[in-house]
């Protein structure tokens, strides 16, 4: 829709005296100006109305070729409610062009077509969604793909916008949607007004859902589930764990009894659902704690991804048995399973970077779901180990079970680093001066603390004890730490003796182990996780100082 034309008439300063208005010499001139402006304003309103009057005929391009029929199992809303709200019968397929204007070009709703009146607060939130959130989603999507394969319009971003329009048009979801935006803005600005707005919108969202569930005789299961999911996203953004658990319980019950209905409807997708899981895993990683949601195998979280995995996985043929054969035998138990999961995920990322353009949003959601679930499970393992009391001890540690804990903790942190780094979910830019989920510097300090105690404990073990089995894993820890160390610059690290801590220890270990070339070293590291040559943007040029120049490949 083109922007409004500017008023072309003359403007005059008018000093009105109510006691002598009829005698003003320029009264007729003022009257002509007022009438002229009103005629112009009516013309502008009529033009906007004409341009938006065909919005019911608008169909998103991605759904034009799909012949969609409602699922038999979905119970329809009563006719009166359906007439008021176009969302239930067609959640994302037929949306007003006005919403494109709201999300992409402007923030006005001059004809009150939305369920929620767009106040100044709501307008500012939609502007934030347009100017900060959508670009951040686009950046997140494009980080995983090679520059030469970048699509003209990222598929996930396109669908994200379509989904957002659907939520804005649904009377039982719009408040929760605005609550999520307000909570996200509060995370960035720390402004109490957005925290208050988020809570108020969420309260309205809960009230809308309760009214819908208690007054509607024929509930639309898909519509209810979608509204609960966006409410869950608001709960997560606000950090309200109690509400999150309560709403997850309701979602689990609906999913258990109506999963066939949900999966059968083509308009059901995971774009905002995956955002809930993404946030929960990111929060857990940032705090080195367990995830609030159960991300384990065969749980509610994973089951919602299974149809997508079954549909997309044939594009990414991967041999788990081959990965298991390649993985170092020193890794056993749960950590071995998780490293095999991590290897599968890294293989998927590699294929997307090299061969697979992100032509559909399913490809990116498939890869991202693998990344966040594996990272979440690794962080849950780290939290279960509870190594913090060990790190706080001042006495020397020699108990083998404690040493094993430190190894598992280090292995978990290193795998999480590579998944987040190569998956593109580290340090997300929201504004010019604000980034979210910057974890690498904190992780580096934690890994260094663990390995410092681990090294000291090894000094107290008998010399005759064979440590050769631990060598590849320790080499992997130090190499990963050196990669992180080389890719970040921490203002808190200034003393010379503390600089390049990991690089110096990696170099010492390489020399003691008799590893003379980078290729030999890489062959050892590949038996932990194969990165297929993928590296952080800073690269691994620092390795030149660890090997003889003649041996460098």
Least confident range from 98-107, 368-377, 408-417, 434-443: namely: 98-107
pLDDT recorded at residue 74: 35
Residue 487's nearest CA partner among 541, 409, 528 is 541
pLDDT recorded at residue 517: 86
pLDDT recorded at residue 356: 62
Per-residue pLDDT band at 173 (split at 50, 70, 90): very high
Least confident range from 28-37, 337-346, 454-463, 542-551: namely: 542-551
Cα three-residue angle 89-94-97, rounded to 5 degrees: 145
Would you tell me how many other CB atoms lie within 10 Å of the CB of residue 460?
9
Mean pLDDT for 408-412 is 98
pLDDT recorded at residue 397: 66
Mean pLDDT of the chain: 79
Structure tokens at 275: 């955002």
pLDDT at 56 over 70: no
> In whole angstroms, what is the distance from residue 387 CA to residue 391 CA?
6
Per-residue pLDDT band at 50 (split at 50, 70, 90): low
Per-residue pLDDT band at 492 (split at 50, 70, 90): very low
pLDDT recorded at residue 95: 46
- For residue 432, the number of C-alpha atoms closer than 13 Å in the C-beta half-sphere is 0
pLDDT at 447 over 70: yes
pLDDT recorded at residue 551: 44
pLDDT recorded at residue 82: 34
Distances (CA, A) of 356 to 33, 48, 313, 341, 367: 62, 42, 13, 20, 12
Least confident range from 36-45, 229-238, 328-337: namely: 36-45
pLDDT recorded at residue 22: 56
pLDDT recorded at residue 9: 55
Highest mean pLDDT among 302-311, 349-358, 410-419, 455-464: 410-419
**Span 384-395, pLDDT tens digits:** 999 998 888 766
């Amino acid at each position: 829709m083109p922007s409004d034309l500017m008023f072309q008439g003359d403007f005059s300063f008018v000093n009105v005296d109510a006691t002598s208005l009829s005698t003003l010499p320029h009264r007729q001139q003022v009257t002509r100006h007022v009438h002229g402006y009103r005629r112009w304003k009516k013309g502008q309103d009529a033009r906007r109305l004409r341009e938006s009057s065909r919005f019911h005929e608008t169909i998103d391009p991605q759904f034009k070729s799909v012949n969609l029929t409602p699922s038999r199992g979905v119970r329809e809303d009563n006719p009166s409610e359906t007439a008021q709200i176009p969302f239930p019968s067609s959640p994302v397929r037929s949306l007003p062009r006005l919403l494109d204007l709201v999300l992409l070009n402007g923030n006005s709703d001059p004809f009150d077509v939305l369920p929620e009146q767009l106040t100044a607060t709501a307008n500012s939130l939609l502007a934030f969604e347009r100017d900060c959130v959508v670009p951040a989603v686009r950046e997140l999507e494009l980080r995983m793909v090679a520059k030469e394969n970048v699509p003209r319009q990222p598929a996930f971003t396109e669908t994200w916008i379509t989904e957002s329009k659907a939520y804005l048009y649904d009377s039982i979801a719009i408040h929760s949607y605005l609550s999520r935006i307000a909570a996200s803005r509060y995370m960035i600005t720390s402004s109490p007004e957005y925290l208050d707005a988020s809570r108020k919108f969420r309260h309205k969202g809960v009230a809308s859902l309760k009214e819908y569930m208690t007054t509607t005789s024929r509930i639309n299961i898909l519509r209810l589930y979608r509204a609960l999911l966006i409410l869950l996203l608001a709960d997560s953004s606000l950090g309200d764990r109690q509400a999150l658990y309560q709403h997850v319980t309701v979602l689990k019950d609906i999913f258990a009894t109506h999963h066939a209905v949900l999966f059968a409807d083509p308009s059901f997708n995971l774009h905002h659902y995956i955002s809930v899981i993404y946030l929960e895993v990111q929060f857990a990683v940032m705090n080195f704690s367990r995830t609030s949601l159960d991300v384990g195998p065969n749980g509610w979280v994973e089951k919602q991804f299974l149809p997508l995995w079954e549909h997309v996985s044939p594009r990414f043929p991967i041999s788990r048995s081959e990965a298991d054969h390649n993985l170092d035998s020193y890794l056993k138990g749960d950590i071995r399973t998780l490293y095999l999961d991590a290897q599968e995920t890294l293989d998927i990322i590699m294929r997307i970077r090299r061969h697979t353009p992100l032509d559909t949003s399913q490809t990116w959601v498939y890869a991202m779901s693998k990344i966040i679930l594996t990272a979440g499970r690794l962080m849950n393992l780290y939290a279960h180990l509870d190594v913090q009391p060990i790190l706080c001890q001042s006495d020397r540690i020699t108990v083998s079970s404690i040493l094993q804990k430190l190894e598992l903790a280090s292995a978990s942190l290193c795998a999480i680093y590579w998944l987040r780094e190569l998956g593109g979910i580290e340090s997300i830019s929201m504004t010019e001066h604000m980034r979210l989920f910057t974890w690498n510097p904190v992780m580096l300090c934690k890994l260094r603390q663990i390995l410092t105690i681990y090294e000291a404990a090894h000094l107290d073990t008998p010399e005759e004890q064979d440590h050769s089995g631990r060598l590849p894993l320790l080499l992997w820890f130090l190499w990963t730490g050196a990669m992180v160390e080389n890719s970040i610059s921490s203002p808190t690290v200034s003393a010379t003796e503390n600089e390049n801590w990991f690089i110096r220890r990696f170099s010492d270990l390489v020399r003691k182990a008799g590893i003379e070339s980078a290729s030999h070293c890489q062959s050892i590291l590949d038996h932990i996780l194969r990165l297929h040559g993928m590296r952080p943007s800073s690269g691994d040029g620092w390795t030149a100082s660890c090997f003889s120049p003649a041996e460098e490949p």
